[in-house]
């Protein structure tokens, strides 16, 4: 598996504090802030188009309504995914995975692609996303980190592209985490940095894999986690974290 050079700060859904999450504007904003890596979520429309989107429903981040799984791409492509955040983002579209990858590549960013399937589409979402990503991603660049809370999605990614690194996501501590990390041959352990404890971080460190913590927006918390042994944080305001973690000791 490709070795990972993970920065201390990864932009969460782009730069979520400054632009509507999981949009191309958010990715460009993150790049403008000096971020080296961004994290985004991928799921499928009703007709199997891979889009960059977090929620199961359209309502929070678009002017659409109802479950993503019930909306086809023709419908979602017409939605406004920006004006909920601010008038200056009026008309911002929901990007496809292809559009996202092209933008990330053009901006020379690293990528954590989280497989965020609608219920029952764990395998299919991973298959479609990996098929697109492996077709578009340049061979001469370090591959994306593929993460998911859904173990079957990571299993699918492992079967399709074993050399691409996988991130094992946990919201709460799992007693069998070592077994799962080993089985899935995970490259990173991604944890909820706001609820974890120092003794748990010490336990995860025994796996000798990078530990990434989400979603950290307070400098004091970021410093504490790094002190405990966490290698990097996902942040909505990555510029604040970058300043904190790279200029202060």
DSSP label at 96?
B
What kind and span of H or E run contains 233?
Answer: strand 232-235
Selected catalytic residue, list 54, 65, 173, 208: 54
How far is Cα 126 from Cα 48, in angstroms, rounded to an integer?
11
Which has the closest alpha carbon to 116: 165, 188, 171, 79? 171
Q: Let me know if 249 is a catalytic residue.
A: no
Q: Let me know if 12 is a catalytic residue.
A: yes
Question: Is the Cβ–Cβ distance between 109 and 27 less than 8 Å?
Answer: yes
Selected catalytic residue, list 12, 65, 208, 249: 12
How far is Cα 211 from Cα 167, in angstroms, rounded to an integer?
9
How far is Cα 59 from Cα 36, in angstroms, rounded to an integer?
30
Q: Which two tokens stand for residue 204?
A: 């995860």
| Residue numbers annotated as active site | 12, 54
């Amino acid at each position: 598996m490709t070795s990972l050079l993970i920065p201390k700060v990864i932009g969460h859904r782009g730069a979520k504090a400054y632009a509507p999450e999981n949009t191309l504007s958010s990715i460009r904003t993150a790049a403008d802030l000096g971020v080296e890596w961004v994290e985004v979520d991928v799921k499928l429309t009703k007709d199997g188009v891979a889009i960059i989107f977090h929620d199961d429903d359209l309502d929070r981040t678009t002017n659409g309504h109802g479950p993503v799984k019930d909306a086809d791409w023709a419908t979602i492509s017409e939605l406004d995914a920006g004006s909920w955040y601010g008038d200056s983002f009026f008309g911002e579209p929901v990007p496809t995975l292809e559009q996202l990858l092209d933008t990330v590549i053009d901006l020379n960013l690293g990528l954590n692609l989280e497989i965020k399937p609608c219920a029952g589409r764990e395998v299919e979402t991973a298959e479609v996303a990996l098929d697109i990503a492996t077709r578009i991603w340049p061979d001469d660049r370090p591959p994306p980190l593929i993460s998911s809370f859904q173990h079957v999605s990571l299993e699918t990614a492992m079967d399709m592209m074993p050399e691409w690194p996988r991130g094992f996501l946990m919201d709460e501590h799992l007693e069998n985490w070592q077994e799962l990390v080993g089985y899935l041959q995970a490259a990173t352990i991604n944890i909820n940095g706001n609820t974890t404890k120092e003794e748990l971080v010490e336990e995860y460190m025994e796996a000798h894999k990078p530990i990434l913590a989400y979603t950290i927006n307070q400098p004091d918390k970021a410093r504490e986690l790094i002190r405990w042994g966490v290698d990097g944080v996902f942040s909505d305001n990555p510029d604040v974290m970058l300043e904190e973690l790279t200029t202060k000791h």
